[in-house]
Amino acid sequence: MTPYVMASLPFAGVNSGMRLSLLLFFITGMAFARVDRVEITSRSDYLGARSFGLAGSYERIQGRIHYVLDPANPHDAAIVDLDKAPRNERGLVEFTADLDLIRPKDPARANGVLFVNVPNRGGRFFIREQNTDEYYLRQGYTLAEVGWQFDIRPDPKLLRLEAPIVRGLTGRVRADFVVTEKTLDHPVGHVISGTIGGTGYRVADVHATDAILTERDAPLAQRKAISRKQWRFGDDKTIHFDGGFVPGRIYEVLYTAKDPAVVGCGLAAVRDFAAYAKRDPDAIVHARYAYAMGISQTGRFLRHLVWQGFNADEEGRQVFDALLVYVAGAGRGSFNHRFAQPSRDAQPLSPLFYPTDVFPFTDNPETDPRTGATSGLLDRARAEGVVPKIFYVNTAYEYWSRGGSLIHTTPDGKSDFDVPPEVRIYFVAGLAHIGGPFPPALSAERSLLGQQLDNPLRIEQLRHGFTAALDQWTRENVAPPDSRHPHVSDATLVPVSALAVKAIHGVGLPGFNYEVYRTGFGAGWSRGVVTEPPQVDGVYPSLVPQVTADGLDIAGVHLPEIDVPVATYTGWNQRDPKIGFPESRASFVGSYIPWPKADLARRYHNRDEYLGRFARTALDRYRDRFLVVDDLPAIIERGGEEWDYATK
């Protein structure tokens, strides 16, 4: 711990006893974590002080977390550019993050676990005014949403991090995008939909001649430069193209930006709030255990957090006891390098070639056939004795479009790879990254529009079961279900060319899946500085789950709809031709492919037989510990609705 002298502390006007108490508080507070203080802006009863089982009623606390980091601390050394950030009079770097937290009003009713959701692009999961998931409340969890992303798009409802800024530094920044209809203007920041995405970095000089705009018709196609006379920056965050951006093209702009944020402070923000709750006696909440959950972008964030050593606090003590990593595929992300854009991911067409899917992919050390390097995601945590319990939960979409197989195969895709004892890998068969509506319909979001109806199955139906099993493993040492995922060894994990069927009721399967690009980020990458655009020299082969004659995934955790089906549910949906690239897969969504009623009549005598089999399968999943008893009535009711829709 950095020594502090009394002269630097605000002791004027207090007596000697108070001075000693303040000094002890200041020093011990620094030793517990680098949460300097929590500024509470709102305190209220949650959901009208309703009671939730044995946990009783909840209190909601909203505010700002004030952090300080010491650039000399070895557990902060991985934060790129922290040593260049402004410092306060104590020589520390300051920053803040939004906090939203609920806890049982009676601390004796809490279960002793702080459960942190890492907000996906600023959005809350646990704490909602509507559609609240009451399961977590009935269990007595203290639930927290902690801002970590500095470039959240404008929306007062979103949680953000105010990161330190390094003034005067410049660098090249790349932004790529596709459009679904002709448009003249586009932001340089990442756009998914509405306010979901990232704001990007401002253009340092909108008149600079070093900016380049290119277009191409496939991810690996040659870039074609667009004449500077045909386009310009509308302002320092938008680009205007006189000819208009059109569907079917990938556009990419390369420009000079300045004043990068210290993006890696987001990793420290999540780490340090959990450490503070576990160890600071003056924390606003207390917990014996800390769990973290990340979904998609923030599932990748948690993989990154462990990989870069952020599961140890500044004193080297374990922070998170357990991690629930949902739908992250094989990825990490742009979470800690100069001019990093945390919102950027890897979708079938855009964004592309960001530091999202990069070696290593597995937890135990593997060897990269391209470079000869050997490493694993858990190397740093294992060396420091801070390995958490981890559940990786992926859907069929992640195998088709996020390189999901690489977390349990060798980098060449030829063999299965071992899974550490602290880890479980669960493949949820037949699901998409995000579930569609029921009754099934085409996507209402134009950028996600596919040729088939959206797959309506949702991973939410299994989330409580995963939580319960991970909690029992962590607190009671009750082993969870064994990993369930496809394998190379039994041919349940195969190249697309080896799939058992090529079409399902006239719907052709995609001709290719996403294979992770082997990307080189330049000589400065080891220091967190990216050369743009990066070099691509091939792929790491990724595989997809083998299917039955009905096109249903064989391996994995099966919802009842997969074992007692009335349709085919997939993790892919090819893009509607009107939005371009019809041979490629739409981002995030899957397909619902209905079956002829004659097929259903051959399989099931009537609705009662179907529902009986469906209910038995749901009970099997409960006995397997993938479902909790609370969820069985709704799941069985949904089965009846599926039948009624399919047979109407």
* Alpha-carbon distance values, 512 to 180, 382, 432, 585 (Å): 22, 37, 17, 9
Burial of 13 (0-12, 13-18, 19+ CB in 10 A): exposed
Residue tagged 């079938």 (tokens): 348
Q: What is the mean pLDDT of residues 173-194?
A: 96
- The model's pTM: 0.94
Residue 162 φ/ψ, nearest 5 degrees: -95, 95
Asked if residue 458 lies in contact with residue 432, where contact means CB atoms within 8 angstroms, the answer is no
Q: What is the pLDDT of residues 442-452, one digit of tens each?
A: 999 999 999 99
For residue 26, name the pLDDT band (cuts at 50, 70, 90): very low
* Alpha-carbon distance values, 632 to 439, 557, 558 (Å): 20, 16, 14
Beta-carbon contacts of 263 under 8 Å, excluding residues fewer than 6 positions away, are 80, 150, 163, 334, 335, 336, 337, 340, 342
Asked if residue 289 lies in contact with residue 105, where contact means CB atoms within 8 angstroms, the answer is no
Asked if residue 148 lies in contact with residue 119, where contact means CB atoms within 8 angstroms, the answer is yes
**Distance (Å, rounded) from C-alpha 119 to C-alpha 111?**
23
Whether residue 29 has pLDDT greater than 70: no
Residue 489 tokens, joined: 């060894």
Nearest Cα neighbor of 120 from 433, 407, 420 is 433
Whether residue 88 has pLDDT greater than 70: yes
- Strands 289-295 and 113-117 come out as parallel
Between 19 and 211, the more confident residue is 211
Q: What is the pLDDT of residues 567-597, one digit of tens each?
A: 999 999 999 999 999 999 999 999 999 999 9
**Distance (Å, rounded) from C-alpha 65 to C-alpha 310?**
18
Between 34 and 568, the more confident residue is 568
pLDDT of residue 28: 39
Nearest Cα neighbor of 33 from 336, 312, 380, 384 is 312
Q: What is the pLDDT of residues 331-350, one digit of tens each?
A: 999 999 999 999 999 999 99
Whether residue 1 has pLDDT greater than 80: no
pLDDT of residue 20: 37
Strand partners, 212: 254
pLDDT of residue 33: 59
Asked if residue 177 lies in contact with residue 191, where contact means CB atoms within 8 angstroms, the answer is yes
Q: What is the pLDDT of residues 41-54, one digit of tens each?
A: 999 999 999 999 99
**Distance (Å, rounded) from C-alpha 283 to C-alpha 61?**
13
**Distance (Å, rounded) from C-alpha 604 to C-alpha 614?**
11
Residue tagged 């974590």 (tokens): 33
Tell how far CA 610 is from the center of its chain: 36
Would you call 71 helix, strand, or coil by DSSP?
Answer: coil
For residue 453, name the pLDDT band (cuts at 50, 70, 90): very high
Q: What is the pLDDT of residues 220-275, one digit of tens each?
A: 999 999 999 999 999 999 999 999 999 999 999 999 999 999 999 999 999 999 99
Beta-carbon contacts of 10 under 8 Å, excluding residues fewer than 6 positions away, are none
Domains and CATH numbers, the chain: 6-159+264-336+354-476 (3.40.50), 170-258 (no CATH)
Beta-carbon contacts of 93 under 8 Å, excluding residues fewer than 6 positions away, are 68, 69, 70, 71, 82, 85, 86, 87, 164, 262, 265
Q: What is the mean pLDDT of residues 27-49?
A: 81
